[in-house]
Structure formats: C-alpha cells, structure tokens
C-alpha cells in the first residue's frame, strides 16, 4: 500500500481532544488506502517545561542528559495517539526513536539523521498495522544514547521518514493553513499559495516566514519529498494547504511568489578599510569567531586603496560585532577608520523561481519603492530573490506596495 507521512505539531496535539481530532484526520487517509506514518511533537508547553527544569538544574548542562529529559514529551504523545487510533479500530502502535531505530550522529541537542532502516515498521505494515506513530524530534546515537534533533526537529523527522519510506507525500499539520504570498498581518491582501517550489520556500523560511523548519525543506528538496503544509484546526479538503514541491510540478506560476521581510536588522559599515587581498576574509573571520551571524555583505567602490565594507546582522548582535571589530583592529588584523551601526533598518525581499527566466524584476521592485519615496540602503541578489535594506519605518509600506506591484493577490 502507498505510504503517507503526517506530522502534527505541539498545538495540534495539545490536549486529548486535539489528539482525537488529529487521529480522525489520520483515519481519513487510512480509509483512502494509505499506510500512514504519523510523526508527533510533545503536547504544547511540555518541552518548554522540561527545558526549563534542565536549565534550572544545570545551566551548562550535559547535552546527553538534556536529550534524555526533553525527548520524553514526544513519547507520551506517541503512545496516546496510538491508543486513540486503536479506539477508532485502526491497528496502530507507537515507536520511540531508538525502537525504529532512527540513527543519528552523536551531536546531542542538534543531531543529524544518518539512517532510518524501514524494516521494523514495514514488517508491521505487512502484518496488518495501518498506522505507525513515531515520536518526533528524537533518535539514538551510535553509543546507544538518546539524541534530539534541535528545535523544530519533528518537521525534519517527518521528511526523513517520507524519504526512507518513499512516501507519496508528507503532510505537515500546524496552526496556519498554508504558505502565504506574504505575512497577512502586514498585507491583508496576502494570498495562500497552492504550490510553491522548494527553493522559494527556503528563501521565504530563512527570511522570516516561519512555517517550516529550514532543515526540513532542505531535506525535502534533496530527496524530492512532496511537502504539504495545512492546518489541523480546519476541516480539510484534499487540496487544502500549500504543496511544497519540485519546480517541475508547478505548471503555472507568477514570476514573483512572495514578499518576505525581517524587522530586526542592523546595517554595519566599516569606513575606510585597506582594500587589499585577504582583508574581507580577515573581517568576516573575526566576526564569525565573535559569534556574529552576518547576512548581507556589500563592498563599496574602492578609492585610493581604501574601501567601505557594509554588512548586516540581527540588531541584538550589534554589540558583539562592535567588540569583534574593535579587537580585530587592536590585534592589527583589520585596519579601518570607523564602524557605523545603523540599527533602524529592515530587510524586504521578493522571492520567485520565475526570476530565473524573467528580466526586469529588480527594476520593477526599485521603481515601486522609489514611487513611494522609500530609499534603498543596500541591495543584494541571488538567482531567485532580491533583497533590500530600507529604513524600518517604511517596512510595512514596502511590503504592501511590492505585493500590489507584483499582483500577488492574483493567482497565475
């Protein structure tokens, strides 16, 4: 029988009633003829409680014990979900990570999945079991200890299972009903996308449209796992939610698929840096060692052997960046006149696979912003997105204007 993976997040299994509601959704797919692998998170709030206890007990905790403690919430949900399915007369059982076994690296707290042998679960499917409920977020290390995959790891668990079992699709049930062209709180005309390409989803996710964990989308793209994002709080038709899939599966699409934004950006400019080979490497090595997450990087026009170097980072890392640069100057690694921090900026991006084959997107974007009197401070581009830094007070205006300009409220 074809296999379907269904993942339910913490809010979707927060109470016994919600577990029952989720189980009914699973029952619908079983009735269609699927063998279903259900991935569950901990009941919402439970993992935070456990993390709180660990932090209070041991601020610099042993990550192996952290994993042993915080993984327990998913085990509870898995057992309760299996029991709920059984009450509906659907043959089901629960699996903890080590029972599958979901093999991971030993990087406790942020382990990577290495292998999911499908034999044990397939044997049970062969015996008539219809639903395997698997505790998400956890695995087992080569040393036989429990590992966790890091926050949001249940999405990654779901995609990995879909790949290992060659599932027809991986449905991610969450508290939003899909992926939108932009944040509906900022642009009320935002429209739910029926389909979106993996690459676009990655750009939207890392730019702040936090529906799916980035790692899970990367994994889905690598193994071509069709992901569907949909709400567990609404009655679902067969085409509900948003399908995240390969570009080829999207027949018609707008040139631009979405507008993303990020509010807490800072623009940092190093004035009068010696313009010689290796200097950029020195700057960004110093920032990396200082723990600064650099996003955009722009090098301005050089003049008489000196140049200005601009980069952006989250506003809460400005102090760290300043300290790292001050130390680099003191150590004689980087020579510069001044470091100017502009913490009143935001990043706005337009994203779309269609940009690969259409010209004029950048021009249209800049014209649109200019028409509203919005000055662009920094520009960066990739194959499928264009990002700009602008004054933060214009952020909402920019998102709305771009959404209108690219007619994102209309389907292709």
Instruction: Give CA–CA dist 182/204, Å, rounded.
Output: 9
**Whose structure tokens read 């259900």?**
38
Q: Which of residues 12-31 bind a second copy (CB under 8 A)?
A: 16, 19
The separation between CA 354 and the C-alpha centre of its own chain, rounded to angstroms, equals 22
144 near a second copy (CB under 8 A): yes
145 binds a second copy (CB under 8 A): yes
The sign of the torsion formed by the CA atoms of 237, 242, 246, 251 equals: positive
Query: Of 374, 299, 312, 300, which is closest to residue 343 (Cα–Cα)?
Result: 312
Q: For residues 140 and 155, what is the distance between their CA atoms, to the nearest angstrom?
A: 17
If binding is defined by CB under 8 A, does position 125 make contact with a second copy?
no
Q: Which listed residue (93, 189, 192, 392) binds a second copy by CB under 8 A?
A: 93
Kindly tell me which of 154 and 262 has the beta carbon lying closer to a second copy.
154
Q: Does 126 bind a second copy (CB under 8 A)?
A: no
**Binds a second copy (CB under 8 A): choice among 58, 106, 288, 375:** 58
- Indicate the residue among 94 and 242 with the shorter CB distance to a second copy: 94
Distance of alpha carbon 140 from alpha carbon 121, whole angstroms = 16
Cβ at position 196, least distance to a second copy in Å: 36
Per CB under 8 A, the list member of 6, 90, 134, 146 interacting with a second copy is 146
- CA–CA gap between residue 291 and residue 312 (Å, rounded): 14
Instruction: Supply angle C-alpha 78, 82, 83, rounded to 5.
Output: 120
Q: Is 376 in the site for a second copy (CB under 8 A)?
A: no
Total of chain residues touching a second copy, rule CB under 8 A? 36
Answer for which of 21, 44, 76, 315 binds a second copy (CB under 8 A) is: 76
The b-or-e profile of 133-170 (16+ CB within 10 A means b, else e) is bbbbbbbbbeeebbbbbbebbbbbbbbbbbbbbebebb
Q: Which stretch binds a second copy (CB under 8 A): 47-55, 172-180, 292-300, 303-311?
A: 47-55
DSSP assignment string, 120-156? HHHHHHHTT--EEEEETTEEE-TTS-EEE--TTHHHH
Question: Smallest gap, in angstroms, from Cβ of residue 66 to a second copy?
Answer: 7
State how far the Cα of 138 lies from the Cα of 133, in Å rounded to an integer. Answer: 13
Place of tokens 């959404």: 403
Binding of a second copy at residue 118 (CB under 8 A)? Answer: no
Q: Which is nearer to a second copy, 20 or 377 (CB)?
A: 20
Is residue 333 a contact residue for a second copy (CB under 8 A)?
no
Q: Is 84 in the site for a second copy (CB under 8 A)?
A: yes
Which of 11, 79, 107, 285 is in the footprint of a second copy by CB under 8 A?
79
> Does 47 help bind a second copy (rule: CB under 8 A)?
no
The residue within the footprint of a second copy, chosen from 2, 24, 62, 274 (CB under 8 A), is 62
DSSP classification of residue 192: B
282: helix, strand or coil: helix
Distance CA 239, CA 232 (A): 14
Is 54 one of the binding residues for a second copy (CB under 8 A)?
yes
Binding residues (CB under 8 A) for a second copy: these are 16, 19, 50, 53-54, 56-58, 61-62, 64-66, 68-69, 71-73, 75-76, 78-80, 82-84, 86-87, 93-94, 96, 98-99, 144-146
């Amino acid at each position: 029988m074809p296999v379907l993976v269904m993942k339910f997040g913490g809010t979707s299994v927060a109470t016994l009633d919600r577990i029952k509601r989720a189980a009914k959704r699973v029952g619908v797919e079983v009735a269609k003829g699927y063998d279903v692998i259900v991935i569950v998170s901990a009941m919402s709030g439970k993992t935070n409680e456990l993390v709180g206890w660990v932090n209070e007990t041991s601020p610099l905790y042993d990550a192996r014990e952290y994993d042993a403690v915080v993984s327990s919430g998913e085990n509870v949900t898995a057992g309760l979900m299996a029991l709920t399915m059984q009450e509906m007369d659907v043959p089901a059982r629960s699996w903890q990570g080590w029972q599958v076994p979901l093999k991971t690296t030993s990087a406790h707290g942020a382990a990577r999945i290495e292998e999911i042998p499908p034999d044990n679960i397939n044997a049970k499917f062969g015996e008539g079991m219809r639903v395997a409920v698997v505790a998400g977020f956890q695995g087992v290390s080569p040393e036989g200890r429990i590992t966790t995959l890091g926050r949001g790891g249940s999405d990654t668990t779901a995609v990995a299972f879909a790949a290992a079992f060659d599932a027809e699709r991986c449905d991610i049930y969450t508290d939003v009903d899909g992926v939108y062209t932009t944040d509906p709180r900022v642009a009320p005309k935002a429209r739910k996308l029926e389909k979106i390409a993996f690459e676009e989803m990655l750009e939207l996710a890392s730019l702040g449209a936090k529906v799916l964990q980035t790692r899970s989308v990367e994994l889905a793209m690598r193994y071509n796992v069709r992901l569907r994002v949909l709400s567990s709080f609404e009655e679902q038709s067969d085409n509900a939610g948003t399908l995240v899939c390969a570009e080829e599966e999207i027949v018609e699409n707008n040139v631009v698929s979405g507008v993303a934004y990020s509010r807490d950006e800072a623009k940092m400019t190093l004035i009068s840096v010696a313009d010689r080979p290796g200097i950029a490497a020195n700057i960004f090595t110093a920032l990396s060692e200082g723990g600064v997450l650099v996003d955009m990087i722009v090098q301005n026009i050089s003049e008489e052997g000196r140049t200005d170097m601009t980069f952006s980072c989250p506003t809460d890392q400005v102090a760290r960046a300043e300290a790292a640069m001050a130390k680099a100057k003191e150590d004689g690694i980087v020579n510069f006149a001044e470091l100017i921090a502009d913490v009143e900026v935001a990043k706005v991006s337009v994203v779309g696979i269609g940009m690969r084959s259409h010209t004029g997107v950048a021009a249209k974007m800049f014209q649109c912003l200019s028409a509203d009197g919005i000055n662009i401070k920094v520009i960066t581009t990739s194959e499928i997105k264009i990002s700009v830094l602008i004054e933060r007070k214009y952020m909402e205006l920019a998102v709305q204007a771009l959404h209108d300009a690219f007619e994102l409220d209309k389907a292709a």
